[in-house]
Amino acid sequence: MALTDSEQLAFAVAEAKAGRAKGGIPIGAALIVDGEVLATGHNQRVQLGSAIHHGETNCLENAGRLPASVYERATMVTTLSPCDMCTGAILLYKIPRVIIGENSTFYGGEDYLRSRGVDVVVLDDDECIQMMSDFIAAEPALWNEDIGESD
Ligand SMILES: [Zn+2]
């Protein structure tokens, strides 16, 4: 039986929590292909001192090189509305479906994704909202750095 959207989101939430437990930013992602988890990842800005390892891009990196035919069957699952960089990565690889945990603490490139034909589902997940709200309240400067804002 195929995984529900909420079941797919759970893989991304687990990654977000794992990242936070190591002092990182709690955003996680999973790449689902043909009903299976191909890769997961989480934001590693703090852990790796990285400018580009967001949840989604770290997940794509963990998936490694894939042929276009695999991306074309994939769903990108992310706990938070994807930023412009991650939106671009989703479009670059022509990933046709995106499941988003929440978009109330940050609203990313969803409108652009939809305008390019991507099926975008927002689950308004309470746990994702709480996770990001707690993080932003605790570490506002780190959060602004992650989304390219000055303090
Ligand atoms: Zn991003």
Q: What is the mean pLDDT of residues 97-117?
A: 98
* Reduced DSSP (H G I as helix, E B as strand, rest coil) percent helix, strand, coil of the chain, to 5: 45, 20, 35
Confidence of residue 109 (pLDDT cuts 50, 70, 90): very high
**Residue of 7, 15, 36, 56 marked catalytic:** 56
Residue found under tokens 């990242």 = 19
Q: Render pLDDT for 50-89 as a digit per residue (tens, 0 to 9).
A: 999 999 999 999 999 999 999 999 999 999 999 999 999 9
DSSP character for 3?
Answer: P
**Distance of CA 95 from the midpoint of ligand 1 (Å):** 15
145 Cβ partners below 8 Å, 6+ apart?
A: 45
Residue 42 pLDDT > 70: yes
**Distance of CA 37 from the midpoint of ligand 1 (Å):** 20
**Distance of CA 2 from the midpoint of ligand 1 (Å):** 27
**Distance of CA 11 from the midpoint of ligand 1 (Å):** 17
Question: How far is it, in rounded angstroms, from Cα 151 to Cα 28?
Answer: 24
Residue 100 pLDDT > 80: yes
Q: Is 56 a catalytic residue?
A: yes
Q: Render pLDDT for 130-150 as a digit per residue (tens, 0 to 9).
A: 999 999 999 999 999 999 998
Residue 1 pLDDT > 70: no
**Distance of CA 45 from the midpoint of ligand 1 (Å):** 11
